[in-house]
Structures are given as structure tokens and as C-alpha cells.
């Protein structure tokens, strides 16, 4: 096959590309430039897409003996990921930009361009498994549970999976690092990247403040009693405990958490942990990942954030979306988050949380 | 392999390789006083004379540098500093809108850090500067201009500028005129004295010499403030131990090119004209950018530059590369990301057109069968690139 290997300059995508080469595919390396004005150097584990990353990707391609190009996806990344991220926070929701990037950039813009240019598949260093069955292509959790990335790929359709290649799905991360060193890849010791790649200093609230400006509002308790002010509701996420800067302590002396954010009046409601617990989740129309389930009632496990726990649940597929009943209530589920449904290790589908209830 | 990127760099001529390998075997710093030093100095001075003779300059006007970029920096910054030191009113730097980044960036640096005022001369849709516009700019404030710099020929679209006329207008105002002739050398006759420029930039690897050897031809009256300070090896305006093998190799290439330029020109033009004749046969909607008059007075004989509507130049480059055909999008890169070319934008092209472009630059080693391979590979590449762009927009 002709395979386009997305090379971020990190260890995972490098080893993934190396394995695709070993498997006998005709591989071309492409580094995706997602920023118009990249930083020169990486700052530890923060950020990515720096000029240094681009050079690292090029050196990997050199060592693998494959052609290498840089594709400028900065416009698509800004439109589909960054603007969406800012707009979602502005609307009081909690988005996952990595999911958006996989959905819109890597497996739509890049994949479509690759297919048109004569490639058969896009290869990445994601930790997830694609299993081909008679019913179509299925997405499964990675063998290395601690690195599993099936959650951020849960929005992919069967068609997209049919043209995707994740050579690391059956490997442990430690194995991948060892293999990188054995192969002489210079990125074998490079730290994993964390946080949001477009917020290199890790200060998400500051990033949003620069984009959205001050939007002062009030912080109230569930009864509506005023507890203080804030400069912008976007700096808060549901489930947050630290940094609330409340002027008065709770009467019961227990810690308080962000329960909800009302964007129009910029009101942030805080309260005790038990009021954070969510047992029922409503979500929008699901995107099925692989075969569409026949049954309208699905016994499944759900995950609501990257590297979050798998929680047993019942999902009911309605005409306007999903209703999910969790076996055990859980804290920190908020509108905007992506809910991914699993049947065993298999991703069944994904939907965006629209509302929660105890 | 079909190499159509000679404007990026072209193979070293056998004469240059011979000179370089000969000199690599010798020890000797051209500034040393003993026999080895004198020998090295002799090679440098003979090279200086050869370069001067090849480009119509006097040996004392040849300043060796480590690149064309360094020569451009010395000309622009050095002349700006010395001219402004003599008269603080001289803040203006007049340049064309389509200069190479090696020229443009030092000019922008002067604007950002030295309070220079950049005056851009526009170009017409073929990329030509109008001497009347320069005349008007200089008449407006002759005391306020530090220097004028307009390239001899454009690296992307190959348009040749009326440098003699521009130099004459500039010197009539007693203002120094610099021209970046990096792309012209090896393709057009260059006569430093004849053109009447104050300073002129050359780069060895564009005409069959080695990379990382540049020249600033600098008239004896001009005394730019140095950019590099040190031993003052080159006329006290450029410091650094000279690269004797590199200098000798570049001089050998310069002499070889000057010896039979018309013949070389004919070969380049023949292959390029074949490209220009046959690309439209397989790509009827391709647009030739730059001057449609292909004579060397108008357009570099090695240059063919096209826009392919509905395609990304990047995609075409990759698809042709996969077929063993090497060309360029002709624009500047940062982290390998192609920005829309400031040259095409200056011609009035929109961003889409600017991004749909490819440059085919032929060289002395190019043949008709290279053109055969190009026109054979191009239709399939265009089809795929168009499809890719169509999907990206949907």
C-alpha cells in the first residue's frame, strides 16, 4: 500500500512509520504544521509542532529512508480546532480539541488529501487497534491501557478507519521507546507531549482570556447566594476545585466545586462534591464507529475524558440523541465533553454531552 | 532523476571541482607571511582577478564572502550605515517589491532596528520595475535616500530588470545602487563597470561553483560599514579567514562560464523553450508567470514558472518528486512550510494562484529527455493534485 505516515517528531509516530516501512508499504512521511508561527524549541513536555519537532520528524524520515514533506494545515487547525475550542469555552462547555483535531484535521483534511494524491492510508502513532471484520472496520482499545487513545479516535467512522493505520495498538509504550532506540531513532528519549499543543505555556485560562477578554460575572452557591466575582466564566471547568478564590468559606467548611457554568450571565455555580455527581447523561446524535448497532438499548461502558475510567452504563438511542444511565454516579461530567461508548474493548460510537443530571 | 531545480543550486562544473580538490591538499592561510601563506594568497589573488575579469570588475572591487546572503547583508546594512553616518537625513532604502529574502530581510531589519524607511518600487504584472517610478521616488527626496537596491533578475519568475537604467538614474542623484545578481550569473552577461552599479552580489553555487562562497563586487568609492568585524581581511569591510579552495573553485567556474556564455545560454534556452512549448500541450490551462518574451534581455534563459489553476504547488511537487522529477514551488520556507510567494502577490496574483505555482529551472546538465519525462509525468500529477485541492475545499 501507499501509506502517508504523519510524523509529529515524537517517538510514537516515528516508530509507527518505521513499522509501516518494515511491513513493506511504500511510506511517505508528512509533518503537519499546525501553527503559522511555530515556536523554535520545545519546552519540555509542553506544546508540539515547533521547528525542533519538524526537524526531528525530518531526521526520522532520513533514518527510515522515506521522502518527507511538511503540510501546512494551520488554516484548517485554526478554523476547526482552535476557534471551536474558544467558542466552546465561551459557551460554557468543555471541549476536547484533540478529538476535534483527529476528526477534522488528521482524518478528514489530511486523509482526504492523501487519498486524492494516491495514498491508500494514513498511519499515525496512536495507541489503538483497528480490527477488520466481516462487518467492517472496528476500533478497539490499545493493549497498553495506560496509553490507550481510542477515546480521542472514537469519533472516526468505519470509512475513516478503513484508511487508517495504527501500528502501535498492540504495543506497550516502554516497548516502543526501546524499539526506537534499537532503530537508532534520535527521538527515543524525547518526552511525551502533554496538555494542549497550541497552549505551549500550559496556561489555558490565560490563553482564553487573551482570546475572549474579561467577561466578569458572579460565583454563586446552589441557592443563588453570591460568593464572589470572577473575570471570565471560561476560566472554570465543571468539577474544578482549585483556584475559585472565594471570599467566604462554605458554612460547612467543606471544599466546593464548580457545578455548572451559565455562559449568558457568566454565572458560575459552586457547591459540595455530592452535587457534582452525575448519574444520567444526555448526549447528541451519536457517530457510530464501525458497525451500527441494531439494538436501541445498549449495555456498554462509557468514557467521558481522555484517560478517564471506563464506567458501566446503559445507553438508549433516541431519535434526537443518546440517554446514558451510569451504574455508579461519577463527578465531573460536563456539557461539551465527548462520551465514547465501548462494548468490551470495541468502540461503538461517540456523542457530545449536552446535559447531565443526578 | 530529472533535476529541474538549478535555480536552487546547480552542479559544480568539472573545472571548479578540479580547482577545489587541488587546493584542499594545500595548507596555507592567505594572511600568513611565510611561503605557504604566500602561496595561498597567490591563489586568492589569481581567483580575484579571474572573478573580476569574468564580471567586468577590477580585482580591487572583488570582496569574497561566505554566501550571497552575506554579500547582500554587507551591501544593504553596510551602505545604509555609512551613508546615514555621513548625513542623518538618509533614512530611505529603496527596493523592488520582489527582492529575494536575502535582500528583503536585512532591509526589514534596518526598518525595525535602525529607523530606516523602506520604499518599495512596485512591479507590473510581468514583474518589471518601472525606471520612471524610481526617478519619481528619488526626485521626491534625493537627500533622504541611503541606497537603492534592485535585483538583476528574479529568482522565482525570471524577469530581468532594467538595471542599467536604474543604476544610471540612481547615480545621477549621487546615491549608491546595489543589485543582487545571484540568479543572473551564469545565465546573462554581467558587466559591473558597464552597468554602473555601486555594489553587486554573486553566489558561487548558482553558476557552477561551490556553495558557501559569495562575492560582493564593490566600487572603490564605496566604503560600507562592516557587518563582520575581525581581521579585516577583505578591504577592511569583511573579516574572516578566506576559504582558499572555495574561492579558487568559484573563480574557476566564473572563468569557465564567461569563456563561452553565449553557448551556455543557448543550451539553457533550448531546454527551457522546450518546457515552455510542451507544458501547455499537457496542461492547457497552465499560466506562464513572468515575462512571456523569452529572450535573455527579458527573462532568464533557464527559468520557466507556472501557475496550475486548481492545484497546490506543494502537492504537485510531491507527486512529481515521487516520479523522480525535482522542481520547486519557488517560495520561501519556514519549517518547510511554503508561504504564498511575495513575488507572485506583488504581480497581482491572489493567494490561491500564488500557492498553485511551480518553478522549473534548467541547467547545463538538463536534456531534452528530461523535458520528455516532465511532460509525461505532469498530466497524472495535475489530475491528482486537482482532486486533492477539490476535496480540501469541499
Read off the pLDDT band of B338 (50, 70, 90). Answer: low
Give residue B45's domain range: 14-259
* B320 Cβ under 8 Å from any chain A Cβ: no
Enumerate the residues of chain A whose CB falls inside 8 A of the CB of residue B318: 28, 67, 69, 117
Q: Are residues B252 and B348 in the same domain?
A: no
- Residue that finishes a domain, picked among B259, B294, B313: B259
Q: What's the pLDDT tens digit per position in B354-366? A: 999 999 999 999 9
Please give the Cα distance from B91 to B107 (Å, whole number).
11
Q: Are A150 and A109 within 8 A, CB to CB?
A: no
**Can you tell me the distance from the alpha carbon of B264 to that of A191, in angstroms, rounded to the nearest whole number?**
54
The answer to whether residues B177 and B297 belong to one domain is: no
Answer yes or no: is B8 within a domain.
no
Helical spans, DSSP H, in B95-204: 101-113, 131-140, 163-172, 192-195
Q: Where are the domains of chain A?
A: 2-125+167-182, 214-276
Q: What is the CATH number of domain A214-276?
A: 2.30.30.280
Distance, in Å, from the CA atom of B299 to the CA atom of B158, rounded to the nearest integer, reads 5
Quote the ipTM score.
Answer: 0.89
Which pLDDT band holds residue A336 (cuts at 50, 70, 90)? very high
Pairing of the two strands A321-330 and A311-318: antiparallel
Task: From A182, A129, A176, select the one nearest A289 (Cα to Cα).
Answer: A129
B200 and B294 in a single domain? The answer is no
> Within a domain: residue B60?
yes
Q: Give the integer Cα–Cα distance in Å for A245 and B166.
A: 67
DSSP B252-315: HHHHHHHHTHHHHHHHHHHHHHHHHHHHHHH-TT-EE-S-S--STTTB-TTEEEEE-TTS-HHH
> In this complex, which of B337, B387, B390 lies closest to A72 when CB atoms are compared?
B337
B116 and B204 fall within a common domain: yes
- A89-139, pLDDT tens digit by residue? 998 888 999 999 999 999 999 999 999 999 999 999 999 999 999 888 999
Any B CB within 8 A of A74 CB: yes
Q: Within a 10 A sphere around the Cβ of A112, how many other Cβ atoms? A: 19
DSSP-assigned states of every residue in B45-106: HHHHHHHHHHTT--GGGEEEES-HHHHHHIIIIIHHHHHHHH-TT--EEEEETT--HHHHHH
Q: Do B190 and B307 fall into the same domain?
A: no
List CB contacts (< 8 A) between B383 and chain A. Answer: none
Is residue B216 located within the same domain as residue B270? Answer: no
How does pLDDT run across B89-108, given as a tens digit for each residue?
Answer: 999 999 999 999 999 999 99
Would you call A72 and B387 a contact, using CB atoms and an 8 Å cutoff? no
Whether A52 has its CB under 8 Å from any CB of chain B: the answer is no
Closest CA to B300 of B164, B200, B162, B154: B154
CATH number at B389 reads: 3.90.1150.10
Of B204, B226, B259, the last residue of a domain is: B259
Tell me if residue A194 falls in helix, strand or coil.
Answer: strand
Min Cα–Cα distance to chain B from A175, Å: 30
Domain boundary residue, one of B224, B259, B294: B259
Domains in chain B: how many in total? 2
Identify whether residues B116 and B225 lie together within a single domain: yes
Q: Please state, in angstroms and rounded to a whole number, the distance separating the CA atoms of residues B268 and B262.
A: 10
Confidence of residue A198 (pLDDT cuts 50, 70, 90): confident
Please report the pLDDT score of residue B303 as a whole number.
Answer: 98
The whole-model pTM stands at: 0.91
Asked if B302 and B187 touch (Cβ cutoff 8 Å), the reply is yes
Do B106 and B212 lie in one domain? The reply is: yes
pLDDT (0 to 100) of residue B335: 47
Percent pLDDT > 90 in chain A is 69
Which chain A residues are within 8 Å of B314, Cβ to Cβ? 69, 71-72
pLDDT at residue A193 greater than cutoff 80:
no
Count residue pairs from A and B with Cβ separation < 8 A: 52
Secondary structure class of A109 (helix, strand, coil): helix
At residue B333 the predicted structure's pLDDT band, cuts being 50, 70 and 90, is low
Of A245 and A217, the structure prediction assigns the larger pLDDT to A217
Which of A 28-47 lie inside 8 A of B, CB atoms?
Answer: 28, 31, 33, 38
Please check whether residues B84 and B228 belong to one and the same domain: yes
Proportion of chain B above pLDDT 70, given as a percent: 97
Architecture of domain A2-125+167-182: 3-Layer(aba) Sandwich (3.40)
If asked whether residues B251 and B345 sit together in one domain, one would say no
DSSP states of A222-287 as a string? Answer: TT--EEEEESBGGG--TT--TT---SS--TT----EEEEEETTTTEEEEE-GGGG-EEEEEE-PPE
Do residues A17 and A27 touch, judged by C-beta distance below 8 A?
Answer: yes
CA-closest candidate to residue B66, choices B188, B232, B241, B199? B241
CATH (domain of B142): 3.40.640.10
Q: Which SS3 state, helix, strand or coil, does residue A217 take?
A: strand
Q: pLDDT for B63-91, tens place per residue?
A: 999 999 999 999 999 999 999 999 999 99
Rg for chain A, CA atoms, rounded: 21
CB A90 within 8 A of CB A261: no
CA–CA dist A48, A76 (Å, integer): 17
CA distance B213 to B298: 28
pLDDT bucket at A188, cuts 50 / 70 / 90: confident
Please indicate, yes or no, whether residues B265 and B252 belong to a single structural domain of this protein.
no
At residue A39 the predicted structure's pLDDT band, cuts being 50, 70 and 90, is low
One domain, residues B317 and B270: yes
Q: Which sign does the torsion angle of CA B79, B85, B86, B89 carry?
A: positive
The pLDDT assigned to A44 comes to 53
Contact B322 A67 (CB under 8 A): yes
What is the mean predicted confidence (pLDDT) over A281-305?
A: 92
In a domain, B6, yes or no: no
Amino acid at each position: 500500500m501507499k501509506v502517508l505516515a504523519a510524523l509529529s517528531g515524537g517517538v510514537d509516530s516515528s516508530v509507527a512509520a518505521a513499522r509501516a516501512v518494515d511491513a513493506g508499504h511504500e511510506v511517505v512521511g508528512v509533518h503537519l504544521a499546525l501553527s503559522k508561527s511555530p515556536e523554535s524549541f520545545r519546552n519540555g513536555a509542553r506544546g508540539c509542532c515547533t521547528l525542533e519537532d519538524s526537524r526531528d520528524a525530518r531526521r526520522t524520515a532520513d533514518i527510515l529512508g522515506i521522502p518527507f514533506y511538511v503540510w501546512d494545515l494551520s488554516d484548517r487547525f485554526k478554523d476547526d480546532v482552535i476557534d471551536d475550542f474558544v467558542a466552546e469555552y465561551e459557551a460554557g462547555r468543555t471541549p476536547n480539541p484533540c478529538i476535534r483535531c483527529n476528526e477534522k484535521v488528521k482524518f478528514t483534511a489530511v486523509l482526504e488529501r492523501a487519498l486524492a494524491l494516491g495514498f491508500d492510508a494514513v498511519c499515525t502513532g496512536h495507541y489503538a487497534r483497528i480490527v477488520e471484520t466481516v462487518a467492517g472496520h472496528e476500533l478497539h482499545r490499545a493493549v497498553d491501557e495506560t496509553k490507550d487513545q481510542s477515546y480521542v479516535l472514537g469519533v472516526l467512522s468505519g470509512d475513516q478507519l478503513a484508511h487508517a493505520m495504527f501500528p502501535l495498538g498492540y504495543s506497550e509504550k516502554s516497548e516502543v521507546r526501546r524499539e526506537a532506540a534499537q532503530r537508532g531513532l534520535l527521538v527515543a528519549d524525547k518526552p511525551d507531549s502533554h496538555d494542549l499543543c497550541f497552549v505551549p505555556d500550559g496556561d489555558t485560562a490565560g490563553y482564553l482570556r487573551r482570546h475572549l477578554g474579561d467577561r466578569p460575572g458572579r460565583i454563586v452557591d446552589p441557592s443563588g447566594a453570591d460568593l464572589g466575582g470572577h473575570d471570565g466564566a471560561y476560566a472554570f471547568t465543571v468539577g474544578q476545585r482549585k483556584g475559585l478564590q472565594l471570599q467566604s468559606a462554605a458554612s460547612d467548611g467543606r471544599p466546593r466545586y464548580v457545578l455548572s457554568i451559565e455562559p449568558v450571565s457568566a454565572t458560575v455555580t459552586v457547591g459540595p462534591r455530592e452535587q457534582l455527581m452525575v448519574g444520567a447523561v444526555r448526549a447528541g446524535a451519536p457517530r457510530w464507529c464501525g458497525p451500527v448497532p441494531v439494538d436501541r438499548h445498549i449495555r456498554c461502558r462509557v468514557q467521558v475524558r481522555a484517560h478517564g475510567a471506563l464506567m458501566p452504563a446503559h445507553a438508549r438511542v433516541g431519535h434526537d440523541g443518546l440517554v446514558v444511565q451510569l451504574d455508579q454516579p461519577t463527578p465531573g461530567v460536563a456539557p461539551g465533553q465527548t462520551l465514547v461508548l465501548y462494548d468490551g474493548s470495541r468502540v461503538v460510537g461517540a456523542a457530545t454531552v449536552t446535559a447531565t443530571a443526578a | 532523476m530529472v533535476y529541474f531545480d538549478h535555480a536552487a543550486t546547480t552542479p559544480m562544473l568539472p573545472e571548479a571541482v578540479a580547482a577545489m580538490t587541488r587546493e584542499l591538499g594545500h595548507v596555507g592561510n592567505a594572511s600568513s607571511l611565510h611561503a605557504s601563506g604566500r602561496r595561498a594568497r597567490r591563489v586568492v589573488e589569481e581567483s580575484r582577478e579571474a572573478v573580476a575579469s569574468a564580471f567586468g570588475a577590477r580585482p580591487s572591487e572583488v570582496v569574497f564572502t561566505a554566501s550571497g546572503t552575506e554579500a547582500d547583508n554587507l551591501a544593504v546594512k553596510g551602505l545604509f550605515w555609512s551613508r546615514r553616518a555621513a548625513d542623518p537625513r538618509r533614512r530611505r532604502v529603496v527596493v523592488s517589491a520582489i527582492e529575494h529574502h536575502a535582500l528583503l530581510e536585512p532591509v526589514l531589519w534596518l526598518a525595525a532596528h535602525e529607523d530606516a524607511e523602506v520604499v518599495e518600487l512596485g512591479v507590473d504584472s510581468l514583474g518589471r520595475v518601472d525606471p520612471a517610478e524610481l526617478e519619481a521616488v528619488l526626485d521626491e527626496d534625493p537627500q533622504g535616500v541611503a541606497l537603492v537596491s534592485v535585483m538583476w533578475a528574479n529568482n522565482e519568475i525570471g524577469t530581468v530588470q532594467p538595471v542599467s537604467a536604474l543604476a544610471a538614474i540612481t547615480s545621477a542623484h549621487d546615491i549608491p545602487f546595489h543589485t543582487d545578481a545571484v540568479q543572473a550569473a551564469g545565465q546573462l552577461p554581467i558587466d559591473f563597470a558597464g552597468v554602473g552599479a555601486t555594489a553587486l552580489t554573486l553566489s558561487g553555487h548558482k553558476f557552477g561553483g561551490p556553495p558557501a562562497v559569495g562575492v560582493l563586487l564593490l566600487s572603490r568609492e564605496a566604503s560600507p560599514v562592516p557587518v563582520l568585524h575581525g581581521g579585516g581581511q577583505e578591504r577592511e569591510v569583511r573579516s574572516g579567514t578566506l576559504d582558499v579552495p572555495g574561492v579558487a573553485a568559484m573563480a574557476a567556474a566564473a572563468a569557465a562560464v564567461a569563456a563561452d556564455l553565449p553557448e551556455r545560454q543557448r543550451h539553457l534556452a533550448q531546454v527551457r523553450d522546450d518546457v515552455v512549448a510542451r507544458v501547455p500541450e499537457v496542461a492547457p490551462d497552465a499560466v506562464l508567470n513572468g515575462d512571456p518574451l523569452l529572450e535573455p534581455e527579458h527573462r532568464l534563459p533557464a527559468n520557466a514558472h507556472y501557475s496550475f489553476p486548481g492545484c497546490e504547488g506543494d502537492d504537485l511537487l510531491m507527486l512529481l518528486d515521487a516520479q523522480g522529477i525535482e522542481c520547486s514551488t519557488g517560495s520561501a520556507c519556514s519549517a518547510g512550510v511554503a508561504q504564498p510567494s511575495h513575488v507572485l502577490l506583488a504581480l497581482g496574483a491572489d493567494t490561491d494562484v500564488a500557492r498553485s505555482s511551480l518553478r522549473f529551472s534548467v541547467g547545463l546538465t538538463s536534456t531534452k529527455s528530461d523535458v520528455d519525462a516532465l511532460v509525461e509525468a505532469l498530466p497524472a500529477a495535475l489530475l491528482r493534485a486537482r482532486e486533492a485541492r477539490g476535496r480540501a475545499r469541499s
